[in-house]
Chains A and B, each alone.
Chain A
Amino acid sequence: MMDTINILIFPGLIFTIILALFVAWVDRKVTARVQWRVGPPLLQPLFDFTKLMGKETMIPGQATAWLFYAAPIMALTGALVFSFTLWNANLYPDNSMVGDLIVVVYLAMIPSVAFMLGGLVSGSPHSVLGASREIKLLLGDELIIVMALMVVIIQSGGSIKLGAILDYQRTYGAVAWSPSGMIALILAILAMQAKLALVPFDMSEAETEIMGGTLVAYSGPLLAFFKLTQWIMRAMLPLLLVHCFWGGIIFSSWVSILAGLGKLLVFWVIMILIRNTNPRVRIDQALKFFTVWGGCLGVLAMILAMLGY
C-alpha cells in the first residue's frame, strides 16, 4: 500500500508532475523579473499543457509516422523512470540497488535520445539540424557529468550506490563543501545547462536560429508530452545535483522536505540566472569548452579527491 502511494502520489508521479509545472513557472517568472517584466501567472504551465492536449496533431508528410508518435512517449517514460529511481534512493537510502548511480546516468540520457529521434524522423531540415547538434552536445556534456560523479564516488569511498552516497554525506557533511567537490559541482551545473538545452548551450533548440530545433514539426498532444518531459527533467536534474553534492532530501518531517526542495530551487535559480546573462555559443565552441576546459578541471578535481581534499 505504502509503495503504491509512494510511486503514484507522493513523491512519485503526481508530485513529480506538480513539481515540474512549478519549476517551469519559476523559470518563466525569474526570467521575466530579470528582464524587468511582470511574468506569467502561477498556473501558466498548466494552461499551456491543457491547451496543447486539446489541439490537433499534425504528422508531416515526410515523417516516419510510428517513430514520430513513439519519440514523445519514450521521452516521457524515460524522464518518469529517472524521477522514480531518484525519489526511491532519497526515500529509502538503504533500499537502493547496487550501481543505481550508473543506471540514473543512463536514464537521464533517454529523453535526449528521444528528442534526437523525434527530430531526425520529422523530416524538417531545422529539426534534423537540431538533432545533429544535440548528438554532438551529448558527447561533450556526458564526459563532464561522469567526471563530476567520479569525484562523488571517490569521496564516498568508491560506492556506486545512490543510497551509500547519501549515507556518507549525512555522516561526514556534503560533498560540495570540499575543494574537489566544489569544482565538480560547478562543472556539473554547466553540464546540466547543456543537458537541459538552456542558454549558453541551447544550440539544439535555438529559437531565433533554427526555430525550436528538434521540436519544430511537433504539434498538439505530442508537443505537450515533449514539453512535460522537458519540465520534469528541469526539476529532476537539479534533484540529482542536490542528491550527489548537497545531502539530498531528508523525508523525516515537512520542514526537512521543504528544506530539500529549497536546495533544489537554489540550483535551479542559479541555472536560470546563468541562462539569462549569457549569449548562445556555437556548437564547436561548446565542444571545445567541455573537452578542454571541462576535461582539465575534471581531472584536477578527481586528483584532489584522491588526495583527500
Chain B
Amino acid sequence: MSLKIQALTRSIWVYHLATGSCNNCDIEILDCITPRFDLERFGIQLVGSPCHADALLVTGNMTTKNIPRVKAVYEQVPKPNVIIAIGTCALDHGMFDGSYTSRVKVDDILPVDFYVPGCPPKPEGMIAAVAKLIAQLRQ
C-alpha cells in the first residue's frame, strides 16, 4: 500500500452534495460529526469547497435540473477520490420513483463507489460504511 493511500485513509475530507433530497439525509450526515459520534477521531472533516474534498457524499434523487450542476461539482474534486451515495433516493429514487422531475439515478451520472441505503440511514450505518471503505482502500 502506498504512502498516498495510507495518508488518504487517515484524513478523509468530505464534501456534501444534495441533489434534490428532502434534507433528512443531510441532517443525519451532520449527526456524524457531533460529540456523540465524532468522526474527527478518524480525521474525517466536512469541507466547504469541492476542490478540498476526498469524498463526495451524494444525497437525494438527482432531479433533471441538477444534473449539469452535479457534473460541474464532480469535475472539481481532485483525484484520488471516492463517491458515496447516501439514502434510498440516491440508490433508486425511493418514494419518488416514477416522478417526472427525476428520470435518472445517481449512478447513471457519477461513478459511485459505495451505497448506504436507508430513509434516512442512521449515523451508525454511515460510520460502518466509512469503516468498510477504509478497509477496502487499504487493500
Contacts and interface: CB of A to CB of B under 8 A. Distances in A.
B30 to A, nearest CB: 12
A223 B35 contact: no
Given A48-B43, A54-B8, A223 B52 contact: yes
Nearest to A43: B10
Contact of B48 (A48, A212, A220): A212
B11 A56 contact: no
**Contact size range, A:** 20 to 34
Classify the interface of chain A: helix, strand, loop or mixed: loop
A54 B3 contact: yes
**Contact size range, B:** 20 to 34
A142 to B, nearest CB: 28
Contacts of A258: none
B79 interface: yes
B76 interface: yes
Given A38-B41, A211-B48, A51 B78 contact: no
B38 interface: yes
Interface stretch (A28-36, A74-82, A181-189, A278-286): A28-36
Contacts of A207: 47-48
Interface in B35-72: 35, 38, 40-43, 47-49, 51-52, 54
Nearest to B49: A216
Contacts of B10: 43-44, 47, 51
A39 B43 contact: no
Contacts of A223: 51-52
Interface string B9-33: 0110000000000000000000000
Contacts of B11: 44, 47-48, 51
A217 B38 contact: no
B40 A212 contact: no
Interface in A90-112: none
A155 to B, nearest CB: 43
* 9 closest Cβ pairs, A-B complex: A211-B48, A54-B4, A50-B7, A56-B78, A51-B7, A219-B51, A47-B10, A47-B11, A37-B38
Interface of B: 3-4, 7-8, 10-11, 35, 38, 40-43, 47-49, 51-52, 54, 76, 78-80
